[in-house]
Structure formats: C-alpha cells, structure tokens
Structure 1
Amino acid sequence: MLFTILGIEQELTASDGAKAKQALQRMWLDWIKLNPIPDDITQRFELLRRLFYQDMGFRGDWQQHYQSQCMLPTQLFSSKSGNATSLALLLRYFAAKLDIPCEFSNFPGQTLLRFELDLKVVYFDPFSNKELGYEQLESLYRGHEGNAARLENQSLTTLNNKQISQRWLEELKLAYLRESNYELALRVSQRLLEIKPGDPHEMRDRGFIYQQLECNSVAVNDFEYFIEQCPDDPLSKLLKAQISSLDSSPATLH
C-alpha cells in the first residue's frame, strides 16, 4: 500500500518515487543486518516499535500535523516527522517485513492501526506510539461522535486499500486548502473523484477549488450538481445565492 501511495504522490507532485523506494529499502537492509528477528510475534511487535520510533527515529509532530509536508511519504523519509496517516503507512510497511498482521482501522476521525498478535488484537496510535484499550477507544469515539455515542463494531473493522488511499487523499486535500495551494488541491480532488465518481460532496469541494482559481463557470457546474443531488443540504441554499454572483464566462486554469 505504501508503494501505491508513493505512486500517487509522484503523479500529484512530481516527486521521485523510485528514489524514495530505494532509500526505504536501504533503511530496512541496514537495520536488518544488525537485528535478529525473534520467532515470538509479541516480541516482534515490540521490536517493530523500537525499529520505527527509536532506531529510525520516526515521530509525530503536533506543530506540523496539518501541513502537507507531513503527509507526503517522500518527505517523511528525510524529516522523520509525519502525521498519523503517513506514519501508519510506513509502520505498516515495516510490520509486513517482520511478518506481523497489520491493518488500518475504520475508526472515525483518527488513524489507528490494528495488529493481530496470535490471539491478541492490539489497537495502536502510530502518532503517539501507544496501545489503546477499549475504554480509550470508546473515549476517542465519543469525542468524535458526541458524548451519547457508543463505540460500534463497525468502527473496529479494517479499511481496504481503496479506502486507505481515499483517507490519505482527503487529508492531503485539506492540507493544500489550508495552505491555499489550490492547484495541487485540484489535482487531489480530481484523483478522489476517480475513487468515488460523482460524489456530490467531492464535486462541491472541487467547485470551491475552481472558484479560488477563478474558473467560475466550471465552479458553477460543480455547485449545481451538488444542489441537484443534495437539495436538502443547508449548503445548497448558500450555493444557490453564490452561483448568481459568479461570473459564468469561460474559464482558463492558471
């Protein structure tokens, strides 16, 4: 999955994916020469944590958590500082090298990993390097869904590769929007629409990006699509008013 994301990153930003893969392989080979691998899976899990957070020095950084650079794997290899999703992608790569079953959890609002250690299942926060018990998971769930919510089994299932790509792209798009990098945000939005074609909320977001790029006629088309698909959404009324004020002349991308 990490190599898939590296390929998408290369398409979006023209980064050198091949060079990044080579650097990653060197990191692993240099480490494995000096570290014997135990047979016990629980010991391998502890070895994975040491490999990742101590020997290789990867870490979560709250100060840069929402910056696009923290979400790009090629940047993570050099800076060693990432957000939860980019760290999870890399940690899962090394887990596979150590033959430890590891998947992304379908947990709302936060990227968590699910490790299977024989008969024990461990939910893990890659950003903080902490295992999470059921009470901690429920507290996080209620913090995201509301105090009356209760943790559901659906939120403890795993994501497939398509869903992982979507989560990463959605985070990257938000980062580019915060940074007012609308051209890259548009590329990400277009890629998201390949994953979920015709999604009205993604069309709405793309319309906003086109508007920032002064491509008003294209923005209007996306806004009108959203209004048609989601007429009862509160934003539809706001977009109707906004459409009337936009210049619908032919647009040129910058």
Structure 2
Amino acid sequence: MSETRITLPQWEELAALPDEALPLLPTALLIARDEYPQLDPAAYDRVLQAHADHLRVEVEAIGEWPLKVAAINNHLFNEVGYSGDNDEYYDPRNSYLNEVFERRLGNPISLALVQIEVSRRLGLPLEGISFPGHFLVRLPVEDGVLIMDPFNGGRPLGVDELRERARSNLGGETPDDSVLAQILDPAPHRAILMRMLRNLHGVYAERGEWDRAARSADRILKLAPEQADAVRDRGLAYLQLEHLAGARTDLARYLKMEPDAADAITIRERLIELSGGRPRLH
C-alpha cells in the first residue's frame, strides 16, 4: 500500500481559500470530526488508498476511461459493497465519511466523494454534479461527458433519464439542451461541501436537534460567510436554543442581506418578538 498523509484544515482558514485550494477529502473529514472528535483522518485516507492500490494494475491496463471507471465502480459497489442507504436515507451517518467507510452505506453525495477520491488517485478526473434532488458524478469522455449515479452503483445515466430527473425537481419544466448542460456543470469543492452541510442541517432541523442544526449552518458560514440562507438558518436554530442575542444578530443580518426574501415578513415578526423578550418557540 502506498504511504499517504492527510492533514485536516482549520475551519477559520477555509473562507479565504480559493476553491482550487480547498481540499475535498480533508474538509469532509473535518465535518465528520465535529460529530466524532476522536476520528483518525489517516485511517480513512488509508482506506481510500487501499481501494486505489487494489485497482491500480487493473485500471492501468485498461485503455478507455469509461472502461476504467466501470472497473472502479465494480470494485467499490459490487466487491467492497458501498451502496445507497435506501432504508434510512436521512440518517445523518450517511453524511459523515467515517461512518460511510465503516458501514459501507451513504447518501448520493458521500458515495460520490468516495468514488471521486478513488478515481482521482487512479488518474481519472471524476467530478461532482450538484444535480437537483440527487447528487451525481461526471467523467469527461471523447464525445462529451459520462454521467453516473453513485447512489445506485455508479450506473450511467442517459440524456432522457437526466431530463426526466431534472424535470421532476424543477417544477415540471423539462430542461432544454442549454439548461441541462448548465445543470451538468461540475460542482466546485466548496459547493460539494456546502451541500453536505445543508443535508445535515436539514436532517437535524427535522429532528429538532437544534444544537447540531446550528453547528451545520455555522460550518457553511465558515466556508462561505456571505451565505444568507445559512445566516438565517443559524439564527432560527439559535432561537430554538434560546440563544437570543445570537438569534437577533443573525436574523437582523439576514434581513439586511435579503430584504425582499420570500420569508422576510416571517423573520421580521421573529425579530419583533425578540425585541419584546417574548420569543415564540415551535
């Protein structure tokens, strides 16, 4: 097995990093360390490297990129057994990479990250796609791009299925070629990591775990401080936790950032309640 080293970044340094310098795997493991403080990042880096080392001879002997990635997918999803968690899709463990490695279960974005990391270690420039509703991956090929679904074993997706999937998540509108091409643009690392955190925020807010919901929104702001939705989400979580000063600051900032937002009236009502010292908790 090849020697690998991994160092997790500091949250405070991430906002200043350009996207090309933002490390995908280390930052995803940094997200997981919030929930699992004893997490050993090197152990999971070694897991990924073992997958890549196991595949290296086979993949290097294959000429065409689509066949190379098919071999990678076969190993990860059929031999090792990574799969989408259909039974407990919204289990937060599906967003934490250490749990994904341990359980071999994940959601679309965490499985995509495993697939991307192994493929890149084998010389394939696999990229993520922030597809509406369901994260996908893409590989440049001679005649375009190969789109795959990591939640379903890396299965390739054709144009008609992609249009239908997009349509069901875009209010019934079927995207034309230009819109679909835009949807299929590669996702920057920052966008991938923020989507992971938004998934966690949504799960924890639904469960009423407001401390973790606040943490997830706060981590988004560590990556992108001007994300208005994350400012609002943190403020609303603070309100549920009765951290009134924090709630007041965040909700006022949100209204300053987005004065015409669809929920601006509701947020103003919350601020009025806070100014009167009578928060209404739900």
| TM-score computed with the length of structure 2 as normaliser | 0.79
Asked if the contact 2:92–2:203 (Cα under 8 Å) also holds between the matched residues in 1, the reply is yes
Q: Does 1:124 align with 2:148?
A: yes
Stretches of structure 2 lacking an aligned partner (at least 5 in a row): 1-23, 278-282
What corresponds to 1:185 in structure 2? 213
Given the superposition, is the C-alpha separation of residues 154 and 27 from structure 1 closer, same or farther in structure 2, using an over 3 Å criterion?
closer
Where 1:104 maps in the other structure, the secondary structure is strand
Asked if the contact 1:113–1:124 (Cα under 8 Å) also holds between the matched residues in 2, the reply is yes
Stretches of structure 1 lacking an aligned partner (at least 5 in a row): 250-254
The CA deviation string for residues 106-125 of structure 1, in whole angstroms up to 9 with x for no partner, is 42232010012344521111
Aligned length: 248
Worse-matched range after superposition: 195-204 or 121-130: 195-204
- Given residue 4 of structure 1, which amino acid in structure 2 is its aligned partner? T
What corresponds to 1:227 in structure 2? 255
Given the superposition, is the C-alpha separation of residues 246 and 22 from structure 1 closer, same or farther in structure 2, using an over 3 Å criterion?
same
Where 2:214 maps in the other structure, the secondary structure is helix
Asked if the contact 1:71–1:86 (Cα under 8 Å) also holds between the matched residues in 2, the reply is yes
Worse-matched range after superposition: 209-218 or 111-120: 111-120
Specify which structure has the bigger relative contact order, considering alpha-carbon pairs within 8 angstroms and separated by 6 or more residues: 2
The CA deviation string for residues 160-209 of structure 1, in whole angstroms up to 9 with x for no partner, is 11222111121122222223332232222122112221332211101111
Worse-matched range after superposition: 69-78 or 233-242: 233-242
- Given residue 270 of structure 2, which amino acid in structure 1 is its aligned partner? Q
The CA deviation string for residues 32-77 of structure 1, in whole angstroms up to 9 with x for no partner, is 4885642322321221111111111000012221121011110011
What corresponds to 1:215 in structure 2? 243
What corresponds to 1:69 in structure 2? 93
| TM-score computed with the length of structure 1 as normaliser | 0.87
Given the superposition, is the C-alpha separation of residues 52 and 171 from structure 1 closer, same or farther in structure 2, using an over 3 Å criterion?
same
Asked if the contact 2:59–2:71 (Cα under 8 Å) also holds between the matched residues in 1, the reply is no
For 1:40-189, list aligned pairs within 5 A. Answer: 40-41=63-64, 42-129=66-153, 130-151=155-176, 152=179, 153-189=181-217
Aligned-residue sequence identity (percent) comes to 25
Asked if the contact 2:48–2:114 (Cα under 8 Å) also holds between the matched residues in 1, the reply is no
For 1:17-56, list aligned pairs within 5 A. Answer: 17-29=41-53, 31-32=54-55, 35=58, 37-41=60-64, 42-56=66-80
- Given residue 231 of structure 1, which amino acid in structure 2 is its aligned partner? P
**How far is the alpha carbon of 1:28 from its aligned partner?**
4.2
The CA deviation string for residues 15-45 of structure 1, in whole angstroms up to 9 with x for no partner, is 222222233334444x348856423223212
Asked if the contact 1:12–1:188 (Cα under 8 Å) also holds between the matched residues in 2, the reply is no
